[in-house]
Amino acid sequence: MRYAFFFTIFLLLQLFSLGTVLSIQWWLQPWMTPTLQTTIWVSVFIITNGLLVLSVKRAFANSYRWVSGWMLIMHFMILTALAVSLFYGGYLLVVALSGSTLHQSNEMTIGLRVLALFLFIGLFIYSLYSAYAPVIRELSINIDKPLAKPLRIAVASDLHIGRLFGVKAIDRLQQLMIRSGADMLLMPGDIMDDNTEAFNEYHMEQNLAELCSSLPRGVYATLGNHDLYGHERPISEALQNAGIQLLNDEVLYIEHEGQPVWLVGRFDNHKRQRVATTDLLTQVDTSQPVILLDHRPSDIDNHSQLPIDLQVSGHTHNGQVFPANFIVNAINRLGYGYEQIGKGHFVVSSGYGFWGIPFRLGSRSEIWLITLSGNTD
């Protein structure tokens, strides 16, 4: 499986490199020479495969980010070339249908390339904005269980706290929580970006503690796959020291306005020995509201047949960069968004943070604000 994954990445990078070469050749076509053409081909493939080798050998810290960054540059070059080609194709179609004479001028040739440059830069600006400017998605859910007053639940998955997403992001989340009037905050996994190095270096514990103190009913979390890559203990200790209640294959009874609510948290399935959801539910009074935190949405079909009122998940990032959002929705029962399935309500967030590089296209940094209501009798 590991070799198949590596081969897929290798093949994908070669295809991206080919598309990038063709895009650059079109971009520079008015000035193209045989020497320049050869230089483009050689340079692109050397950069791609050189970065891939350095990443595999882990030649420097966070080398995967360099591969991801270069891949994004290639992706945006290809998207730009496709967009301009569609624009020009539409122009040719209009000319043909109108019976006009096509005048191919030097101004048109240069103008298309200037347009491509603006589109290319625009993609980076918009993607950076989408990664750092969160939106709040509000949702109201009604369940057939006793709950005298609505419970306002905020969900922030996949923070990936690290060097590129740290103090300012935590403080911004605190302000969003205060303005939203949320009762509690749920964090279904991938809270840290693999380790606590940046968290400790930039003294983020105080910021996270202030976030926790701003929620009347507290902050609850489970660990995701990126929290389990060899640094589970320091990550768990850092979160607990800041005041976050971890639910790692555990259940917790809390009260909201004097009425019981059950929180159930699961380890990510990277943890092979994790407890089955059915076993966790034996510790719960399922006649009362039950909320499940499960990092990946891979078990939604099974969970829809269980007495779970609300499941919150993340992990998919809604693909993070277009067109990966179509892929995550194709391979998951619910890859992103909200849906009522079977006995329960399911929310899969694109995440508050990001993985790897700070860019999103076709997805947004987001917080879900869920108002959970029940029977008031």
Cα dist from 138 to 71, 154, 177, whole Å: 34, 9, 13
The percent of residues in the chain predicted with pLDDT above 90, rounded, is 80
Of the listed ranges 1-15, 65-79, 126-140, 143-157, the one predicted with least confidence: 1-15
Contact 160, 132 (CB under 8 A): no
Q: Is the pLDDT of residue 130 over 90?
A: yes
Q: Is the pLDDT of residue 170 over 80?
A: yes
- The more confidently predicted of residues 52 and 240 is 240
Q: Minimal CA–CA distance to 109: which of 24, 20, 28, 36? A: 28
For the CA atoms of 47, 76, 296, 286, what is the dihedral angle to 10 degrees?
170
Average pLDDT, the chain: 93
What pLDDT, on a 0 to 100 scale, did the predictor assign at position 2? 65
What pLDDT, on a 0 to 100 scale, did the predictor assign at position 238? 96
Q: Is the pLDDT of residue 218 over 80?
A: yes
Q: Minimal CA–CA distance to 161: which of 351, 361, 297, 369? A: 351
For residues 346 and 304, give the distance between their C-alpha atoms in angstroms, rounded to a whole number.
9
Contact 195, 164 (CB under 8 A): no
Q: Is the pLDDT of residue 5 over 80?
A: no
Burial class (CB in 10 A: 0-12, 13-18, 19+), 151: buried
Q: What's the pLDDT tens digit per position in 50-79?
A: 998 888 877 677 778 888 999 999 999 999
Domains and their CATH numbers in the chain: 2-130 (no CATH), 135-375 (3.60.21.10)
